[in-house]
């Protein structure tokens, strides 16, 4: 089998506050294969964004990676453990943006308002010009500008020769998002991380952006980690799904298996909360009982047990279930399937 582009193994990211320690990511593991789209879903505050920020080594203080490994594989090279690299060192800086690119949640906040969007893409191209000229002369500003115009055209930005000189605040939300995608793809990354890229745009533009990402993934074979709380987007985009809750993986597997035969009670509850055209009119949507606990007040045992309709008395409240197989290629952290297998108490 082809080696994964990315392997996240038992990743743990904690935030050390005056009030206590927040275990934002608490033992997350998953793989991303070449050309594969892995969707990470869960309610707000479950640790999705912190997970990908850890991959890029951009977790802000007082947070830091306290455990686990993040293995990234380049073409024809041995896997590098990103957690062992200096976050501000030359090796990580060369990987960040060139080999692993990020599409952030809000492009208006990601772009500098005092520089044109084209100037910012040109800067990225010239900084990581090895992707374009491994052994040649430095990429000139004129050449970088021409490449940027072609990138803008490839992501569907109309009048790219004019829009290259626009500021982010002069563009619509959809155009800003397309410009951010062009910037992320400018250095031909092996792995693209899309952190809720459709959150701040309307439904029509959202569909256009998703179609664009899917077409680019199919054309270039780029591996994508797609973060969202929208299961409809996951059904459309992903090959593999990772369901997170309170910093832990509740279930993961192929998208068809997760949607057709969800195993974990949390996954089932998420899927039931999606509106259906077959639902009876004027009926309330099913909801998940309770709410996410405060980060400093994590429940003992399985993190979902206070809200779980299938919690096993005396077990779920006292022990943490381990992520174990529940079917071909499907795993779940639930004592309904493995009562005797647990992580730390």
Share of the chain above pLDDT 90, in %: 46
Angle at 30 (CA atoms; ends 25, 32), nearest 5 degrees: 130
Among 101-110, 136-145, 199-208, 265-274, name the most confident range: 265-274
* pLDDT reading at 88 higher than 80: yes
Determine the average pLDDT of the residues in 259-270. 93
Cα atoms in the Cβ-side hemisphere of radius 13 Å centred on 134:
1
- Mean pLDDT for the chain? 87
Q: Quote the pLDDT of residue 343.
A: 66
Determine the average pLDDT of the residues in 304-308. 92
| Distance linking the first and last C-alpha atoms of the chain | 36
Q: Quote the pLDDT of residue 331.
A: 95
Q: By the 8 A CB rule, do 257 and 339 touch?
A: no
Q: By the 8 A CB rule, do 186 and 125 touch?
A: yes
Q: Quote the pLDDT of residue 133.
A: 57
Report pLDDT digits (tens) over 49-60: 999 999 999 999
* pLDDT reading at 200 higher than 90: no
Determine the average pLDDT of the residues in 285-291. 82
* pLDDT reading at 235 higher than 80: yes
- State the Cα–Cα distance between residues 150 and 234, nearest whole angstrom: 29
Domains, the chain, ranges and CATH? 1-99+189-345 (3.40.50.300), 109-188 (no CATH)
- State the Cα–Cα distance between residues 71 and 100, nearest whole angstrom: 12
Report pLDDT digits (tens) over 308-341: 999 999 899 999 999 999 988 899 999 998 877 6
- State the Cα–Cα distance between residues 64 and 279, nearest whole angstrom: 45
Q: Quote the pLDDT of residue 208.
A: 80
| pLDDT-derived band at 136, boundaries 50, 70, 90 | low
Report pLDDT digits (tens) over 12-34: 999 999 999 999 999 999 999 98
Q: Quote the pLDDT of residue 211.
A: 85
């Amino acid at each position: 089998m082809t080696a994964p582009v990315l392997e996240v193994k038992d990743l743990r990211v904690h935030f050390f506050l005056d009030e206590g320690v927040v275990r934002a990511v608490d033992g997350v593991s998953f793989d991303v294969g070449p050309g594969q789209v892995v969707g990470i879903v869960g309610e707000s505050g479950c640790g999705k964004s912190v997970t990908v920020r850890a991959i890029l080594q951009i977790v802000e203080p007082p947070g830091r990676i306290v455990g686990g490994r993040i293995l990234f594989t380049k073409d024809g090279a041995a896997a590098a453990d990103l957690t062992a690299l200096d976050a501000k060192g030359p090796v990580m800086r060369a990987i960040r943006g060139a080999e692993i690119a990020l599409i952030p949640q809000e492009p208006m906040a990601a772009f500098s308002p005092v520089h044109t969007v084209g100037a910012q893409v040109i800067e990225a191209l010239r900084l990581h010009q090895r992707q374009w000229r491994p052994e040649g002369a430095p990429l000139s500003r004129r050449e970088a500008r021409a490449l940027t115009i072609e990138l803008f055209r490839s992501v569907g930005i109309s009048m790219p020769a004019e829009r290259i000189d626009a500021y982010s605040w002069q563009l619509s939300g959809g155009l800003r998002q397309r410009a951010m995608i062009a910037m992320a793809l400018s250095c031909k990354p092996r792995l693209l991380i899309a952190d809720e890229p459709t959150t701040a745009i309307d439904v029509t533009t959202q569909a256009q952006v998703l179609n664009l990402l899917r077409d680019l993934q199919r054309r270039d074979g780029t591996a994508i980690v797609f973060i969202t709380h929208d299961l409809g987007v996951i059904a459309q985009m992903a090959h593999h799904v990772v369901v997170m809750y309170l910093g832990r993986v509740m279930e993961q597997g192929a998208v068809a298996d997760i949607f057709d035969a969800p195993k974990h009670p949390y996954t089932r509850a998420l899927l039931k909360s999606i509106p259906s055209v077959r639902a009876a009119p004027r009926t309330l949507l099913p909801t998940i009982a309770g709410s996410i606990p405060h980060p400093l007040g994590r429940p003992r045992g399985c993190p979902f047990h206070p809200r779980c309709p299938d919690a096993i008395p005396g077990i779920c409240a006292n022990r943490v279930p381990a992520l174990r197989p529940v079917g071909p290629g499907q795993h779940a952290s639930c004592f309904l399937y493995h009562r005797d297998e647990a992580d730390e108490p």
